[in-house]
């Protein structure tokens, strides 16, 4: 079975299982790394549209990852979806998560972000600022007090910044 099919099947299984657990699938990867294969599942707290809360309600905990890993491992063994041996990893996207979904731009508005561009804009391919949101096809960020707009198709990656 192709890795796209496996990632899709795992996503479907998890979406059904997580529906009433306050968790969502952030991303599923199935790929060859070194000599072996890895099935990597990233979980996220389900976003209800409310403003960000405390860390406990905003981030996935280790107990949640362990519970999902146990369930998924058993379910994958039952279904025998993956023919070769692999390592299963279940985790959260991390503090420096990449913004992937349109809802991420609403959910994390007001947060510090790091933006990497495919091509330089005003001499730079890297910007840091405060996410304002997304407006049509533009990612809007406050960079040092100035609103900057970057066409989404020119953004190679946008992550939450880890600020200490």
Whether residue 84 contacts residue 101, with contact meaning beta carbons closer than 8 Å, is answered with no
In a domain, 47, yes or no: yes
8 and 75 belong to one structural domain: yes
Q: pLDDT at position 52, please? A: 52
pLDDT over 70, % of the chain: 93
Distance (Å, rounded) from C-alpha 84 to C-alpha 86? 6
Same domain for 153 and 131: yes
Q: What is the pLDDT of residue 50?
A: 60
Same domain, 107 and 129: yes
Q: Is 97 within the bounds of a domain?
A: no
Element (H, E) at 7: helix 3-18
- Looking up residue 40, the CATH number of its domain turns out to be 3.30.300.70
Tokens for 2, please give them: 């192709």
**Are 155 and 129 contained in the same domain?**
yes
Residues 66, 11 share a domain: yes
CATH number at residue 150: 2.30.30.100
- Domain identity same for 67 and 113: no
At residue 47 the predicted structure's pLDDT band, cuts being 50, 70 and 90, is confident
Which structure tokens are listed for 81?
A: 């979806």
- pLDDT tens for residues 1-15? 444 489 999 999 999
The residue range of the domain holding 122 is 102-160
State pLDDT tens for residues 66-119.
999 999 999 999 998 898 899 999 999 998 999 998 889 999 999 999 999 999
pLDDT in tens, 53-65: 444 467 899 999 9
Same domain assignment for residues 82 and 113: no
- Averaged pLDDT of the chain: 90
């Amino acid at each position: 079975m192709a890795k796209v099919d496996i990632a899709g099947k795992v996503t479907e299984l998890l979406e059904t299982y997580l529906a009433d657990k306050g968790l969502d699938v952030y991303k599923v990867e199935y790929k060859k790394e070194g000599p072996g294969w890895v099935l990597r599942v990233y979980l996220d707290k389900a976003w209800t549209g409310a403003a960000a809360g405390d860390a406990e309600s905003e981030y996935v905990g280790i107990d949640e990852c362990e519970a999902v890993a146990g369930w998924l491992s058993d379910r994958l063994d039952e279904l025998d979806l993956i023919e070769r041996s692999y390592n299963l990893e279940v985790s959260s996207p991390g503090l420096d998560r990449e913004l992937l979904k349109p809802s991420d731009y609403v959910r994390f508005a007001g947060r510090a972000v790091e933006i990497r561009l495919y091509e330089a804009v005003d001499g730079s391919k890297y910007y840091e600022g405060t996410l304002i949101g997304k407006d049509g096809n533009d990612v809007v960020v406050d960079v040092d007090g100035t609103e900057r707009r970057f066409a989404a198709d020119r953004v190679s990656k946008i992550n939450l910044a880890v600020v200490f």
